[in-house]
């Protein structure tokens, strides 16, 4: 298997799907001449030309609306937002148009569009550029929300998203673009709506997604040094949520920690905890705990920013609490 970066995995997915289907096109700010703000679209303009790799003005509401309209008449647009922070300007098109068109047309008109770009915090980009918005979109019937954590999942899930007949919110981890991983040779497609067990264990389940996957895996290694085997479940798709995989893991380990980058109130983790405690309450040996970002706008100061983010020590502490171990119990 080839080892590639997360950004190159996304690039491969775009190239392969544009080669496979002439109705697929890419549109957004700086996707063409500049080759993408994060170089995900590198080389695509030269290969496919300006009709299929379309540079737009800085008008998220406008080009998101163009994408919705293009999808309604049969094309398969991939709309890149430079960051999901800026996509707030286009939320009307996603929530009131893309998500509802199939329902409001009685199933006659679909919106097979992918809205993608980086989300979450990077390093010292402060409050307006460090937000995790997945719970916003997962709240909306009609939208699917996908958040890959590895290069292999980034490629496979993006290919599935492009082929989907439903609108997809595809949020890439801003700090993941340079991470590397193996990708299977040949056609590689990962089905939407299926979680993945990234590490097996029998003592406690850690449910996570996107950037918290690598943090959870680091926490699992630290716990292993203490004799605790943690199972790490990567949701991959936030909506639809793969409850079966999560419940199966927790039913075996009897303990669970849910980690996410976003804020605690009404977050993705709240839905996961509700699902666990509603469906398999009697299998739990401890309350499910959540590890989230701090309930504050992201600080600019690097020390405060570090304190506001999820890290492996916070996950280890939560795991020790549900295991009733040591000083963290």
Q: Which two tokens stand for residue 281?
A: 């309450």
| Nearby residues of 72 by Cβ (< 8 Å), 6 or more positions away | 101, 109, 110, 111
Active-site annotation holds for 209? no
| Nearby residues of 118 by Cβ (< 8 Å), 6 or more positions away | 38, 82, 83, 84, 171, 172, 173, 174, 177
Question: Which secondary-structure segment (H or E) carries 77?
Answer: strand 76-80
Active-site annotation holds for 244? no
What is the longest distance spanned by two Cα atoms in the chain? 61
* Strand arrangement of the beta sheet that strand 114-119 belongs to: 53-55, 24-28, 76-80, 114-119, 168-173, 144-146, 237-239
Nearest to 131 by CA among 271, 289, 267, 273: 267
How many other CB atoms sit within 10 Å of the CB of residue 197? 14
Q: Give the separation between CA 194 and CA 223, rounded to whole angstroms.
A: 26
Q: Give the separation between CA 169 and CA 146, rounded to whole angstroms.
A: 6
Give the angle 51-54-59 at the CA atoms, nearest 5°.
Answer: 140
Bond prior to 61 in cis (omega within 30° of 0): no
How many other CB atoms sit within 10 Å of the CB of residue 180? 13
Of 129, 139, 188, 254, which residue is the catalytic one? 129
CB 249 within 8 A of CB 199: no
Of 16, 17, 29, 60, which residue is the catalytic one? 60
Q: Which residues are catalytic?
A: 60, 129
């Amino acid at each position: 298997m080839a080892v590639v970066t997360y950004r190159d995995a996304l690039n491969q997915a775009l190239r392969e799907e544009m080669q496979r289907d002439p109705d697929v096109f890419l549109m957004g700010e700086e996707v063409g001449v500049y080759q993408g703000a994060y170089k995900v679209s590198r080389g695509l303009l030269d290969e496919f030309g300006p009709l299929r790799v379309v540079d737009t003005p800085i008008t998220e509401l406008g080009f998101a609306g163009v994408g919705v309209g293009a999808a309604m008449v049969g094309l398969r647009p991939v709309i890149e937002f430079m960051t999901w922070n800026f996509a707030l300007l286009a939320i009307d098109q996603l929530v009131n148009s893309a998500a509802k068109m199939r329902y409001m047309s009685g199933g006659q008109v679909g919106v097979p569009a992918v809205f993608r770009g980086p989300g979450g915090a990077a390093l010292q980009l402060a409050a307006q550029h460090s937000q995790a918005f997945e719970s916003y979109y997962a709240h909306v019937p009609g939208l699917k929300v996908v958040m890959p954590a590895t290069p292999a999942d980034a490629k496979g899930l993006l290919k599935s998203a492009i082929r989907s007949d439903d609108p997809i919110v595809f949020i890439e981890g801003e700090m993941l673009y340079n991470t590397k991983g193996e990708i299977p040779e040949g056609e590689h497609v990962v089905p939407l709506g299926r979680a993945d067990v990234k590490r097996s264990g029998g003592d406690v389940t850690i449910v996570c997604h996107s950037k918290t996957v690598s943090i959870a895996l680091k926490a699992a290694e630290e716990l292993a040094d203490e004799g605790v085997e943690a199972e790490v479940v990567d949701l991959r798709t936030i909506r639809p949520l793969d409850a079966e995989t999560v419940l199966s893991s927790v039913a075996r380990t009897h303990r669970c920690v849910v980690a996410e980058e976003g804020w605690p109130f009404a977050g993705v983790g709240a839905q996961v905890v509700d699902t666990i405690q509603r469906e398999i309450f009697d299998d739990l040996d401890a309350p499910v705990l959540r590890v989230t970002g701090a309930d504050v706008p992201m600080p600019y100061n690097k020390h405060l920013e570090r304190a506001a983010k999820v890290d492996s020590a916070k996950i280890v502490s939560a795991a020790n609490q549900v295991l009733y171990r040591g000083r963290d119990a």
